[in-house]
Each structure stands twice: as C-alpha cells, then as structure tokens.
C-alpha cells in the first residue's frame, strides 16, 4: 500500500511538519529556501493532526490540507495528511514509520528556528537528531537565540556551516544546519488573530 506522495528510492526528501492552521507565506518562504540551499528533490508538508505540545486543537484537517494545496506554487512540494493515515502524532513515530515504508529514501526533518528552541522537549528528540539530518530556518525573534538553545548546544559539534549546509540532504546524521538570511514574519497566530481563518 502506498501511504503518502510518490517517493522514488534515492530521492532526498525534506519533511516540514506543521499545524498549517492556516498555511501562509512564511511556510512558502522557508520551503523555497530549504529546497534551494539543502538541495532536496522534494519537500513534503506534513499537515499534523495536532501538535502534541499544544492544548488547542487545529481546524479541520481537510480544510487545512485544501488550503495548503491551494497555496503551494512549487512542483516539487506536496502537502499530505500522512500522519492521520499512519495514526502517528509524535514526529519520532512518524519518522520511524516513513523510514520503514521508504527504506531507499533519504528523509530530513525541517523546522523554523522557534521549534528548534523547544526541540529538546519533543518525544525521542535525540533519536531524531541522531537518525535524520535536520534543517532549521531562521524566523524573526528566534534566529540568534536558537543557536544557543539546548538542542543546538548539545549537538554543536555536528552543526554544518554555511557552505557545508549545501550537503545537508546527503549528510549522515547527526548533522544539522541553521540557515540565516532574509526572513518572513508571517505566522498562523497573526492570521487567526485578524479573524481571517477559519
């Protein structure tokens, strides 16, 4: 049975998990950036059934998935509700399932710098770090602080520099990179606060 988008062996696929409640320009910005700088063949947006650390549940999955698909303007990027099909909620469980289902694919985990700051609170975060390359994209207010957070400090020896970041999608874990540069200030919270969603 195929679960999720097409994933040919040998492909390097970046996984951007999120609530996407709603999706916005910031998600597009970091996706473009990661595709280019980390050299992925594909990026999948994993639309989460619900962040395990958030008490407030997101809007209906179909609504969020449709909004992601309407927004995505890159042929190498797809949105999927794979976690709902796998029945996983924690990222480590999702990654373990994807690794089993697609043994020939090189998956990397992607996130904004705000999530790196909380990464040490995630279930089995060290296993994630030691099993998959991790690409982090700067976000306003989080870029400089993220470089000093617990996860960054613990794995500082494995941080790729600006030039080395170009081989992140090929790298053997542990390997992670924090891209800095032009950032997008967009956020789902701000869109919801304006009453534009759902």
Ligand X SMILES: O=C(O)c1ccc[n+]([C@@H]2O[C@H](COP(=O)([O-])O)[C@@H](O)[C@H]2O)c1
Positions that interact with ligand ATP (CB under 6 A): 16, 18-21, 26-27, 30, 111-112, 114-115, 137, 139, 183-184, 186-189
Residue from the set 33, 38, 40, 122 that interacts with ligand X by CB under 6 A: 122
In the region spanning residues 87 to 106, those forming contacts with ligand X, defined by CB under 6 A, are 90-92
- What's the min distance (Å) between Cβ of 93 and ligand ATP? 17
- Please say which residue, 8 or 98, places its beta carbon nearer to ligand ATP: 98
Facing residues of 136 across strands? 111, 178
- What's the min distance (Å) between Cβ of 71 and ligand X? 15
DSSP string, 6-53: ---TT-EEEEEEE--SS--HHHHHHHHHHHHHHT-SEEEEEE-S--TT
- Please say which residue, 21 or 78, places its beta carbon nearer to ligand ATP: 21
Alpha-carbon distance of 117 to 129, in angstroms, equals 14
How many residues bind ligand X (CB under 6 A)? The answer is 15
Alpha-carbon distance of 180 to 143, in angstroms, equals 7
Helix axes 61-71, 25-38, angle to 10 degrees: 60
- What's the min distance (Å) between Cβ of 161 and ligand X? 25
Alpha-carbon distance of 8 to 196, in angstroms, equals 38
Residue 91 binding partner per list ligand X, ligand ATP, none, with a CB distance cut-off of 5 to 8 Å that depends on partner kind:
ligand X
- What's the min distance (Å) between Cβ of 24 and ligand ATP? 6
Q: Does 198 contact ligand X by CB under 6 A?
A: no
- What's the min distance (Å) between Cβ of 126 and ligand X? 12
Contacts (Cβ under 8 Å, ≥6 apart) of 120 = 149, 150, 151, 154
Q: Does 123 contact ligand X by CB under 6 A?
A: yes
Q: Does 127 contact ligand X by CB under 6 A?
A: no
Alpha-carbon distance of 95 to 83, in angstroms, equals 10
Binding residues for ligand X, rule: CB under 6 A, are 17-19, 46, 48, 51-54, 90-92, 115, 122-123
């Amino acid at each position: 049975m195929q679960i999720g988008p097409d994933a040919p062996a040998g492909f390097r696929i970046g996984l951007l998990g999120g609530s996407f409640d709603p999706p916005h320009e910031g998600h597009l910005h970091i996706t473009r950036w990661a595709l280019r700088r980390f050299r992925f063949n594909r990026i999948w947006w994993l639309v989460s059934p619900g962040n395990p650390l958030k008490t407030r549940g997101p809007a209906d999955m179909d609504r969020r998935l449709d909004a992601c698909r309407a927004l995505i303007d890159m042929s190498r990027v797809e949105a999927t509700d794979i976690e709902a099909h796998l029945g996983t909620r924690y990222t480590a469980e999702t990654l373990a399932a994807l690794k089993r289902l697609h043994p020939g694919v090189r998956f990397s985990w992607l996130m904004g710098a705000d999530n790196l700051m909380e990464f040490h609170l995630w279930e089995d975060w060290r296993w994630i770090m030691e099993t998959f390359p991790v690409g982090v994209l700067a976000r306003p207010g989080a870029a400089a602080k993220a470089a000093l957070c617990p996860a960054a400090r613990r794995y500082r020896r494995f941080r790729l520099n600006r030039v080395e970041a170009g081989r992140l999608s090929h790298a053997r874990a542990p390997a992670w990179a924090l891209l800095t540069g032009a950032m997008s200030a967009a956020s789902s919270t701000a869109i919801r606060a304006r009453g534009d969603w759902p």
